Structure 1
Amino acid sequence: MRLFHCDQCGHLVFFESVHCVNCGATLAYLPDCDDVGAMAAVNTDGTASADGGPAALWQRIPSKATHSSQRYRMCANRDQYQACNFAIPADEPNRLCSSCRQTLVLPDLSVSGNTLRWQKLENAKRRLYVTLARLGLHPDQPNWTPHYQFLADVPDQPVITGHSNGLITINIAEADDDERVRRRVALHEPYRTLLGHLRHESGHFFWDKLVRDGGELDSFRQLFGDERQSYPQALQDYYANPPGYSQWSAQFVSAYASAHPWEDWAESWAHYLHMVDMLETAASYQTDLTMAEGRPSVTISDPFVQPPPRFEDMVAQWVPVTLLLNSLNRSLGQQDAYPFALSAGALQKLRYVHDIVRRPHPLESGRPPVMHQH
């Protein structure tokens, strides 16, 4: 995610920020201009208002870079639950922003802790929303919009995280750090985050759109294998006999990717989204890296520029960025934030994702969906 700055004072703010810590300005992300703006409550005639309540209209504070009379309302999930920081153009009829409208089922918010779990999931989902939008994947188009349900286990009915018929299900227990770590350790995974879950499951959604409905099944099968093999049996075999590092590392981005071609694609897709998001962040900080004495530095560039960057250039920047990230983590006594080493086989699949994502694609699809569960 790129950097943002407060319109009122110029201080650094973040994508999730709702107030500037330097000057106290109210902040909101404005999807219509892909920016975080400092906002002032206004009356219907545009004059300043002291009322910043749920019914308030808002206008972006003018700065050197911006001057707009567009008026906004805050997403209703911000006003009621502090669960969103998106603003909506005032003339739109919806009370919820385009990201929150993707969530069809909420957990029972009367249960202690569920509101916080839901807030964490929505925070991660908004990051995914913006990344997909920047990749041109039409998150506001009906046929290109994944939907979500965030559910809690009930006795004898555990919630299975997965994707089916355009609906992504996430078990809200994953929002509890201790539970997520317990599952990561139990499953011998090096990495497990809410954002990672959402990116992975969105991969299943976009496999339907970009591969199956995009006429790419033959090219997919040549590289990833035949997805028509039994999916339930493949997962059963994987969990019964997890592969060792030497069995998967040369061809897959993770051990789980080796379970089935669908999972190989979804893991590669998620990894590509990791790549573009982190490269954009590093580029926004104007990062230059020197890998060895006497060698030229590597300048990190924005992966969302047009025309799209070459995949080889992205990889050449990605490696030093991940080494810097892990070095910073180790200096604080933390484990590696990026616990992966990409083999030539894994990079070939990431290149495939890159090529699929960056080419023009249709907006309509009438074929039946497939089901993926974990």
Structure 2
Amino acid sequence: MRSFRCTVCSSTLYFENSVCLGCGSPVGFSRAERRVRVLGDDAVCVNARLNGCTWIVEAPGEQCGSCALTRTRPDDDNAVGLGRYALAEQAKRRLVFELDELGLPIVTREQDPDRGLAFDLLSSRDTPVTTGHADGVVTIDLAESDDAYRERLRIELDEPYRTMLGHLRHEIGHYYEMVLVLDEHSSWRGRVRDLFGDDTASYAEALDRHYAEGAPQGWQDAYVSQYATMHPYEDFAECFAHVLHVHDTVQTAGAFGLAVSVDAATLDFASLISAVWLPLSYALNQVNRSMGQQDLYPFVLAPTVLDKLALVGEIVAATGSASRVGRLRGTP
């Protein structure tokens, strides 16, 4: 996340601010400018009261680009679900911001009815909900917005890390593998399969095996998490999520003077990991421990894991570069 400043009083503005705490000026996030700025005659997203959205839109009554990606939300009479939905939308706005920063294309369901991106943010108040991805639709169980529920599952499943933003980054990894890697014309498919394994293996059998037997012995030598051992799809999505973790945290740390400020678009991911991420994550883990908290980044990156992250980082960087060139040329 970038650091933003109020143009009226120069106070620090944060991504979620609707008002400058220094001078009281109303502010909003401009996706076109990729910055938080003071509002003039601008309108903010119609969902401002519903989910706290502060994104600027072209005309009153419109949804912003992030909110418009949500296809389904809880009913108006579901107060608990709506509260959790607001937290999920807050995390989704950070996800969309990062995807824009990296230059990753977001094709909406309106643009591609069969495989465009959409989010179903569902309350499990009445019926069970399974978080996942299918053909561009990301489904999120909004119970994951509840800290107690999420922490209970984190402990039961022996996971070191579990957050709403982490879920969104993982599921969007499935989406980008679908559109960037698994397409028959993709130049990445062979390299991904060589490193991650055969994605044509039965997912249902892999799922049953994982929950019956757990992760294999020595999984830390080749996988970033136990869940990544289940199937090559999950391995790729877990690594994609970690690439987003790294990019966002490094950008934020650089913006606030906690790390060397780097342009991730000009630095290959392996170099970003070794030169910036590893020393930064070690330091942040120690800061968390000083406050009696768990490690901020509780993962060990073995050499094979680093190779996987580097390949996903290469895919992200190449896609972002191609997207930026396309915008400069005036193509979609």
TM-score, normalized by length of structure 1?
0.80
| Match of residue 101, structure 1, among 53, 68, 79 | 68
Q: Is residue 81 from structure 1 mapped to residue 81 from structure 2 by the alignment?
A: no
Higher helix share: 2
| Match of residue 200, structure 2, among 228, 241, 256 | 228
Aligned-residue offset at 1:322:
0.6
Instruction: Tell me the amino acid that sits aligned with residue 148 of structure 1.
Output: F
Q: Partner of 1:14 in structure 2?
A: 14
Q: Partner of 1:148 in structure 2?
A: 119
Instruction: Tell me the amino acid that sits aligned with residue 281 of structure 1.
Output: T
The answer to whether the 8 A contact 1:283-1:302 is kept is no
Aligned-residue offset at 1:83:
2.5
The answer to whether the 8 A contact 1:284-1:302 is kept is no
The answer to whether the 8 A contact 1:300-1:317 is kept is no
Q: What SS does structure 2 have at the residue aligned with 1:104?
A: strand
Instruction: Tell me the amino acid that sits aligned with residue 14 of structure 2.
Output: F
TM-score, normalized by length of structure 2?
0.90
Q: Partner of 2:270 in structure 1?
A: 312
What does 1:303-342 align with in structure 2 at a 5 Å threshold?
303-304=264-265, 308-315=266-273, 316-342=275-301
Q: Partner of 2:220 in structure 1?
A: 249
Separation in 2, partners of 1:172, 1:125 = 12
What does 1:34-73 align with in structure 2 at a 5 Å threshold?
34-40=34-40, 58=41, 72-73=42-43
Separation in 2, partners of 1:127, 1:22 = 23
Q: Partner of 1:210 in structure 2?
A: 180
Q: What SS does structure 2 have at the residue aligned with 1:163?
A: strand
Identity between Structure 1 and Structure 2 (%)? 38
Aligned-residue offset at 1:112:
2.5
| Structure 1 unmatched runs, 5+ | 41-57, 59-71, 289-298, 364-374
Q: CA 1:136/1:94 → structure 2, altered by over 3 Å: closer, same or farther? A: farther
Structure 1 vs Structure 2 CA RMSD: 1.9
Q: What SS does structure 2 have at the residue aligned with 1:76?
A: coil
Q: What SS does structure 1 have at the residue aligned with 2:181?
A: helix
Larger Rg: 1
Q: What SS does structure 2 have at the residue aligned with 1:359?
A: helix
Separation in 2, partners of 1:121, 1:25 = 26
CA deviation string 1:151-210 (max 9, x = no partner): 12255x410000012110000100111001011111110000000000000000110111
Aligned-residue offset at 1:300:
4.0
The answer to whether the 8 A contact 1:146-1:168 is kept is yes
Q: Is residue 127 from structure 1 mapped to residue 94 from structure 2 by the alignment?
A: yes
Q: Partner of 1:278 in structure 2?
A: 249
Q: Partner of 2:314 in structure 1?
A: 355
